[in-house]
Amino acid sequence: MQYPRAAIKDLKVSFRSGNNSVTAVNNISFTIGKGELIGVVGESGSGKSVTALSLMQLVQEPGRIDNGELLYYEGEDPVDLLRLSPDTMRRYRGNEIAMIFQEPMTSLNPLLTCGAQVTEAIRLHKQIPQMEAKTRAIALFTKVKLPDPEGMMDRYPHELSGGQKQRVMIAMAISCEPKLLIADEPTTALDVTVQKAILQLLKELQQQMEMSVLFITHDLGVVAEIASRVMVMYKGNIVEEGPVAQVFTHPVHAYTKGLLACRPPLDKRLVRLPVIRDFMEQTASVKSFVNSLQMSGEMITARRNTLAAREPILQVQNLSTWFPVKRSLTGKVLEWRKAVDDVSFEMKTGATLGLVGESGCGKTTLGRSLLRLTEPTSGTIVYKGQDLRSLSAQGMRAMRKEMQLIFQDPYSSLNPRMTIGKAILEPMEVHGLYGNAAGRQEKVLELLGKVNMLPEHVNRYPHEFSGGQRQRIVIARALAVNPSFIICDESVAALDVSIQAQVLNLLISLREEFGFSCIFISHDLSVVRFISDQMLVMQKGKIVESGEADQVYQYPREAYTQQLIAAIPKGI
């Protein structure tokens, strides 16, 4: 008889808050076969990560495992991980079961080199000499395809890119050759090209080492690239399970249909993206519902003609932003990092310009340079006929009422000690808008309504909201000063695909209502193509391709653009 690698039976996990208890995982059961790579899909809060943490016995207060069995099979007789003492469980963790966490920067110790951390993990479980552990660590860095494996041993986490940090985490996870690997959202905030490389790496390692892998994600497209079987979780329950091809082509549950539909399609332009709610309310197939939202050729042509007739709102000529990398003893700069290098473009009033490229290509620096939050080295920025580089600091401060920035991480850009009502109110007070305190307070409530938040949310703090809600709050704050130009810097990158769809739809409806122009920065070409009229592709500080969004996507000229498009998860 063939035994599975692990079996979860009737697992229930709850979290207590005062006298209340919230069920995070609701009596779920499933098995993981030996050498099987199974995908677990669902939104934030669906119970995916809590299930994984339960397997590792890492659920912390106020969470608790109420009942269930977590059976791990080494042979014929399984071990119930729930019944093990902490010391015994510690021997299983790392040796038999390992985990790759979503955010490598918070999982890696910033005070230790990457080599020291992997070496420590090996020695903790294998009881081998330091030099042998170091040799193994270098071999692992080679295995996960890190450049210069020996050099990486002496580098600290902050010196590595996101993809390189994730490879270090993978090396650490497989260092003791576990039989079950749990990968919790390991590619969520990575560029599509880096994501593709990490997925291929995990698949190769799984096959080489004959590992069982539990791969957790919110993106069904990613699951299609890597898994053979998929489970869909919703509100703590498994609502659908089966072979990936079957679930993708014939989804049964409304929630699965919604997850499949809410990623921007690659073959058509839509009026808006489908959201989960659309499928909870009706029974149409994914394909027919998505087709019903398709923009007609007349609508596309009408928007192009409208924008073509307008004046430019922004004209950028030969813009460069360089940072000194190396100086002589006298302070003379010997080497520059050309983050933005001789960039020129213009955008029409009311248009959305998509700026796409991998991490480190200069997208964010370009956005900050346009607002002079980072001072450019050379070039001109003309906004509504005004040369921004000629303005004094005071003049630029007044101009920022017109020009707003929505950051990638809404949590770090909101003051945790300030209610969201106060956060939205503050820019109005700074610029003396809407007459008096009563007028400003009324505007706060109006803006909250515009971004689908409730009046009672006004006195709550940022930590009381989900990631998608916080992103809506920072959008409301940006709109508080009624800007005519907004830069969205990776503002949907870390969101679930379903929440991402809601935020993208919101931005489009607000653009139509308020009439602002927008630069939308992202590493995800499918998202940029959906929301943008024009597209710029950046590589190593330069614009390597530009044009209408559909034209760039359908007929890319540059090999780099073709590479970005090829890396988008295509599904089945």
3-state secondary structure of 289: helix
Rounded CA-CA distance 52/40 in Å is 10
Q: Does residue 212 share a domain with residue 255?
A: no
Is the separation of the CB atoms in 121 and 168 below 8 Å?
no
Is the separation of the CB atoms in 168 and 160 below 8 Å?
yes
Range of the domain at 26: 1-96+179-250
Q: Does residue 156 share a domain with residue 243?
A: no
Q: Does residue 72 share a domain with residue 2?
A: yes
φ and ψ of 44, to 5 deg: -55, 135
Domain end call among 232, 266, 295: 295
Domain end call among 126, 154, 177: 177
Domain end call among 177, 199, 216: 177
Q: Does residue 195 share a domain with residue 158?
A: no
Residue 28 forms part of a structural domain? yes
Q: Does residue 32 share a domain with residue 78?
A: yes
Q: Does residue 473 share a domain with residue 449?
A: yes
Residue 358 forms part of a structural domain? no
Distances 26 to 14, 15, 235, 237 between C-alpha atoms, Å = 8, 12, 8, 6
Cβ atoms within 10 Å of 268's Cβ, excluding its own = 13
DSSP bridge partners of 41: 217, 232
Q: Does residue 155 share a domain with residue 213?
A: no
Q: Does residue 203 share a domain with residue 290?
A: no
CATH of the domain at 3: 3.40.50.300
Residue 505 forms part of a structural domain? no
Dihedral of the CA atoms 107, 109, 113, 117 (nearest 10)? -70
Q: Does residue 204 share a domain with residue 171?
A: no
Q: What is the pLDDT along the chain (572 residues), one digit of tens a residue?
A: 567 999 999 999 998 877 888 899 999 999 999 999 999 998 888 899 899 999 999 998 888 999 999 999 987 789 999 999 999 998 898 889 999 887 776 788 999 999 999 999 899 888 889 999 999 999 999 989 888 999 999 999 988 877 788 889 999 999 988 999 999 888 876 778 888 888 888 899 899 989 999 999 888 888 988 999 999 999 999 999 999 999 988 899 999 988 888 888 888 899 999 988 888 876 678 888 888 899 998 999 999 999 999 999 999 999 999 999 888 888 898 888 899 999 999 999 999 999 998 877 889 899 999 999 999 999 999 999 999 999 998 899 889 889 999 987 777 789 999 999 999 999 999 888 888 999 999 999 999 998 888 888 999 998 888 777 888 899 999 999 999 999 998 888 777 888 888 889 989 999 999 999 999 998 888 899 999 999 999 999 999 999 999 999 999 999 999 998 888 887 65
Residue 469 forms part of a structural domain? yes
DSSP string, 414-466: S-TTS-HHHHHHHHHHHTT-SSSHHHHHHHHHHHHHHTT--GGGGG--GGGS-
Which contacts qualify for 556-563: CB closer than 8 Å, 24 or more apart?
Answer: 561/537, 563/193
Q: Does residue 276 share a domain with residue 139?
A: no
Helix (H) / strand (E) containing 286 = helix 286-292
Distances 385 to 138, 313, 314, 315, 355 between C-alpha atoms, Å = 56, 8, 8, 9, 22
Q: Does residue 4 share a domain with residue 85?
A: yes
Rounded CA-CA distance 409/445 in Å is 23
The pTM of the whole model exceeds 0.75: yes
Residue 164 forms part of a structural domain? yes
Q: Does residue 257 share a domain with residue 227?
A: no
**Residues near 255 by beta carbon (within 8 Å), at least 6 away in sequence:** 232, 234, 239, 240, 276, 279, 280
Residue 339 forms part of a structural domain? no
3-state secondary structure of 12: strand
Residue 499 forms part of a structural domain? no
Rounded CA-CA distance 530/269 in Å is 6
Longest Cα separation, the chain: 78
Cβ atoms within 10 Å of 318's Cβ, excluding its own = 12
Residue 315 forms part of a structural domain? no
- Structural domains of the chain, count: 4
Amino acid present at 1: M
